[in-house]
Structure 1
Amino acid sequence: MRDLYLDDPVRLRETDSSDMLGAIYGLPDQLPAALAYTRTQGVRLRTEGLLQIVITGLGGSAAGGDLLRGYAAAACKVPIFVNRQYELPAFVGPATCVIAVSYSGNTEETLAAYEEARARGAQTVVITGGGELLRLAERDSVPHVVVPTGLQPRAALGYLFVPALLMLADSGLIPEVDEELSETVEVLHRLRGLLAPDTPTAHNPAKQIACHLHGKIPVIHSTAGLTEAAAYRWKTQINENANSPAYAHVYPELNHNEIVGFDVPGAALELIRVITLRARDLHPRIGKRIEITTQELLGPCNGVEVRAEGESPLAQLFSLLYVGEYLSAYLGLSYGIDPTPVQKIEQLKRRLAEG
């Protein structure tokens, strides 16, 4: 049985040979560490004449940008965009701050976007663990934050998210975040005791959801704004840690299209399970939409609802995200898959390097 597999520490260690579960366990500790080294490196944004911020990166290095956009949208004095390609949007120029993020420092799309930002006269800032991006930042005297290395980029989310968050707060673009970060760490430490491998499936929500999704195709529903980034993160973590397809959509938009798609083909629908991520203080009409959709419209595809914990938006966001981190690894392990290797991504990089 899958729950017995997930509760067998010997088998878990053997399958998780690169210790992805250990990296996930360490996420709560990344936040205060990132707070300390970011403040030490003292990077701030120039806000005079600033009209927009573009965070450019790919994969795990872009995930922090998604979280920042969702978290800060309601309070930030300028709009935040996330760019995931070689080219930058046409509006990028001297009134734009481009934050280039690459954990390895060698992501070719991010390097191209960095060079384009410099050529267009945009204010440019770098967050990286090293590599070519750090070399370019030092060459160009571009402000930069160097983060700890040694993890898969997707497992370094705290290290990559907090520097950009603090840049906005310390530059006065959003309210100060120290109290919210403190609460977020407390919530994650509490959740860690519940979600970690030593907690058996009977008392571990992440293991329970992994068993529920085993042999199924997850579809993650959230709400536009704060939890949207968490849902997309669930999707990509399931893709990479469990080698499985997964999809994400948001309320209220999904009520105008996706809900009609749960009728046929029957054989495919039997494989789908919907997971609903829910923060506190929803617009009352969104809450009503979730209730009607999950109780009346999804039928056998309806799965479980995961509710955010904590008082602040940041704590709620990371509480949802943390369940997904563990869930994705447990789902991969339930298939006998080591959650760390991403062989197809590495194959693609090798083929691209051939020219």
Structure 2
Amino acid sequence: MTGRSAPAAAAAAAPEERGGTRTTDPLARPAVERADPRLMIDDVLAQPAHLRDALDLLDEVELPRGEFPGGLVVCGVGGSGLAGDVTAAIIGPRARRPIQTVRGYRPQPWVDPGTFVFCPSYSGNTDITLEYLTAAHAAGAAVVGLTSGGRLAEFAGRQGLPLVRVPAGFQPRAVTSYSIVTALRCAAAAGAGPDLRGEVAEAADFLDELVREWGPESPADSLAKSLARDLHGTAVVAYGSGPTAAVAHRWKTQLNETGKHLAFSSEVLEADHHELCVWDHLDEPARWSALFLEDRVDQHPRAVRRMELTAELIAGTGAPTRWISARGETRTQRLLSLVLLADFVSVYTAALSGVDPSEIALISRLNQLIG
């Protein structure tokens, strides 16, 4: 679990001035900004705008057309890889061909001219994505890239590959929305799923409402702020099932990278056959939290029942549990609502710990060592 210094803790808990009155909200904007000098909170607030901007950018890119019986492969790591998982979850039962996410250097043996490959790398210098893209292109696959620059942009320019150029200057995880929208459009171009441009636009409008409900100007007891306070000081396991499994992984990675918080993710149907045993043997169960991500519209009823029973059993061990329901009318709205909530909670968790949500010193060091 992440610790913090006494001064940072005191600063995060200090009352704030608001309209001549004092408030004890430790997650009011001034308190968040003290731990967040590069204002990642504003990047979270901008997610609806990112969705709209991505739609506009893609209107200017000519994607490959043709027959792609191999479906869509998304090669990426971090937020880029998550985009493939979320895309598959959003399309769900509407998929007409395979949609797969790959986190590795080498294409599968079946990647060929009948496969559509999307390779997002925000920096353009991710060695995993670059090597996969180069090999997939050599195998004759239809390849589309996404980046803010770097070697990926240079390679795409030399080879005449379609490229989505996204704005520079962000942390990669802060602009995952661009990769999700592009992956959805690539799925449509590959014949792997329907064209969901209208659904994405509606989701952007819906997220505007949630930004107001969960943002730093929201009440101290808003869902995002109360979740951050509940999770603070505990290790977290985020559980999903079916379409929410991909979003559970987003909760884990955002709490890790943004919140500097020990967190894991798991799928209930699998975890019930082994991982569940661990909860009954923790030395300090109160120092762990279990989150359950629910979408009753899209999850199998028996899967939901398993989640309910699993939550009851874990709560019985003395570990805190929280049940989080997806919001929205469409599948896209519901899953993106859970993504947005994870991003708010991770920034708020960092603020409570007095750590900079943008700092990634060890990741940067590893990338330097890899070269």
TM superposition score category, shorter chain reference: over 0.9
**Which letter maps to 1:208?**
S
Partner of 1:103: 122
- Relative to structure 1, is the Cα distance of residues 352 and 287 closer, same or farther in structure 2, using a 3 angstrom cutoff? closer
Tell me whether 327-336 or 162-171 shows the greater mean CA deviation.
162-171
Structure 1 stretches (4+) deviating beyond 6 angstroms? none
**Which letter maps to 1:342?**
I
Partner of 2:67: 48
- SS of 2:94's partner is coil
Partner of 2:43: 23
**Which letter maps to 2:328?**
G
**Which letter maps to 2:159?**
D
**Which letter maps to 2:230?**
H
Q: CA deviation at 1:5?
A: 6.0
The counterpart of 1:69, out of the listed 73, 76, 88, is 88
Distance 2:79 2:301 in 1: 33
Q: CA deviation at 1:171?
A: 5.2
Partner of 2:269: 252
Is contact 1:274-1:303 (8 Å) kept?
yes
Is contact 1:56-1:100 (8 Å) kept?
yes
Distance 2:28 2:49 in 1: 26
Distance 2:369 2:309 in 1: 48
Distance 1:315 1:187 in 2: 7
For 1:271-282, what aligned pairs fall within 5 Å after superposition?
A: 271-281=287-297, 282=299
- SS of 2:129's partner is helix
Partner of 2:7: none
Is contact 2:347-2:357 (8 Å) kept?
yes
1:213 equivalenced with 2:231 (yes/no): yes
**Which letter maps to 1:275?**
L
Tell me whether 2-11 or 324-333 shows the greater mean CA deviation.
2-11
Percent identity between matched residues is 31
Partner of 1:112: 131
Q: Deviations over 1:156-188 (max 9, x none)?
A: 011221122123235543223133113211221
Where does the alignment leave 5 or more consecutive residues of structure 1 unmatched?
none
Q: Deviations over 1:75-100 (max 9, x none)?
A: 22211111112222222222222211
Distance 1:165 1:74 in 2: 14
Tell me whether 227-236 or 121-130 shows the greater mean CA deviation.
121-130
Partner of 2:340: 322
The counterpart of 2:360, out of the listed 322, 342, 352, is 342
Q: CA deviation at 1:114?
A: 1.1
Count how many residue pairs are aligned between Structure 1 and Structure 2: 349
Tell me whether 22-31 or 54-63 shows the greater mean CA deviation.
54-63
Partner of 2:110: 91
Distance 2:196 2:143 in 1: 23
Distance 2:344 2:276 in 1: 28
**Which letter maps to 1:199?**
S
Q: Deviations over 1:283-342 (max 9, x none)?
A: 221122122221234422241111011111110000111110000110011000010111
Q: CA deviation at 1:193?
A: 0.7
Partner of 1:181: 200
- SS of 1:175's partner is coil
**Which letter maps to 1:287?**
V
Distance 2:189 2:137 in 1: 23
Distance 1:49 1:221 in 2: 34
Is contact 2:98-2:192 (8 Å) kept?
no
Distance 1:171 1:91 in 2: 16
**Which letter maps to 1:178?**
R
Is contact 1:126-1:144 (8 Å) kept?
yes
- Relative to structure 1, is the Cα distance of residues 252 and 47 closer, same or farther in structure 2, using a 3 angstrom cutoff? farther
Is contact 1:71-1:314 (8 Å) kept?
yes
Q: CA deviation at 1:122?
A: 1.7
Partner of 1:157: 176
Distance 1:228 1:35 in 2: 25
Partner of 2:329: 311
Q: Deviations over 1:123-163 (max 9, x none)?
A: 21111221110110110111222122221110001122112
Distance 1:349 1:319 in 2: 31
Is contact 2:61-2:164 (8 Å) kept?
yes
TM-score (norm 1): 0.93
Q: CA deviation at 1:251?
A: 2.5
Tell me whether 191-200 or 16-25 shows the greater mean CA deviation.
191-200
Partner of 1:36: 56
The counterpart of 2:305, out of the listed 288, 291, 303, is 288
Distance 1:59 1:30 in 2: 18
Where does the alignment leave 5 or more consecutive residues of structure 2 unmatched?
1-9, 14-23
TM-score (norm 2): 0.89
- SS of 1:40's partner is coil
Is contact 1:5-1:12 (8 Å) kept?
no
